[in-house]
A = this chain, B = another copy of it.
Amino acid sequence: MSYTFINGGVTAPQGFTANGVCAGVKAATSAAIAKNAKDDSPAPIPNGKRDLALIACDKPCAAAAIFTKNLVKSDTIYVTQKHLENGVAQAVIVNSGNANACNPDGYEKAEAMAKLAADALGIDETNVIVASTGVIGQPLPLSPIESGVTALKDILSKDGGTNAAEAIMTTDTVKKEWAVQTVLGGKTVTIGGIAKGSGMIHINMGTTLSFVTTDAAISSEMLREALVAAADVSYNMVSVDGDTSTNDTLAILASGYAGNAEITEKNADYDTFLEALTAAFKAVAKQLAADGEGATKLLICNVSGAKNEAAAKTIAKSIICSSLVKAAMFGADANCGRILCAIGYSGADVNVNKIDVAYKSAAGEILVCQNGCGLAFDEAKAEQILLENEIEILVTLGDGDGSAEAYGCDLTYDYVKINGDYRT
Assuming A243-B338, A337-B137, A422-B328, is B416 touching A372 (CB within 8 A)? Answer: no
Tell me the bound Cα distance from A202 to B336 in angstroms. Answer: 19
Tell me the bound Cα distance from A350 to B72 in angstroms. Answer: 9
Tell me the bound Cα distance from A154 to B343 in angstroms. Answer: 42
Assuming A245-B341, A322-B242, is B413 touching A378 (CB within 8 A)? Answer: no
Q: Does A187 touch B at the CB level, under 8 Å? A: no
Assuming A245-B341, A420-B333, is B199 touching A324 (CB within 8 A)? Answer: yes
What 5 pairs across the A-B complex have the smallest Cβ distances? A136-B337, A137-B374, A331-B420, A72-B344, A327-B419
A136 contact from B322, B338, B412, B418, Cβ within 8 A = B338
Residues of B within 8 A of A424 (CB): 333
Residues of B within 8 A of A205 (CB): 345
Within 8 A of B (CB), among A400-424: 411-413, 415-424
Interface range on chain A (Cβ under 8 Å from partner):
35 or more
A38 contact from B136, B324, B375, Cβ within 8 A = B375
A340 contact from B246, B374, B413, Cβ within 8 A = B246
Residue of B nearest to A372 (CB): B102
The SS class assigned to the A binding surface is: loop
Q: Is the CB of B337 within 8 A of A246?
A: yes
Q: List 27 A-B contacts (CB under 8 A).
A: A36-B377, A36-B378, A36-B379, A38-B376, A71-B343, A72-B340, A72-B345, A72-B372, A101-B337, A136-B338, A136-B374, A137-B336, A137-B340, A137-B368, A205-B345, A242-B321, A244-B341, A244-B345, A245-B341, A323-B419, A327-B420, A332-B421, A333-B421, A333-B423, A333-B424, A415-B416, A416-B416
Q: Is the CB of A72 within 8 A of B321?
A: no
Choose among A69, A322, A373, A379 the residue with the greatest number of B CB atoms under 10 Å from its CB.
Answer: A373
Assuming A72-B344, A246-B341, what are 11 further A-B pairs, CB within 8 angstroms? A69-B345, A71-B352, A102-B369, A136-B336, A136-B341, A137-B368, A200-B324, A243-B338, A244-B345, A246-B344, A327-B418
A341 contact from B200, B337, B375, Cβ within 8 A = B200
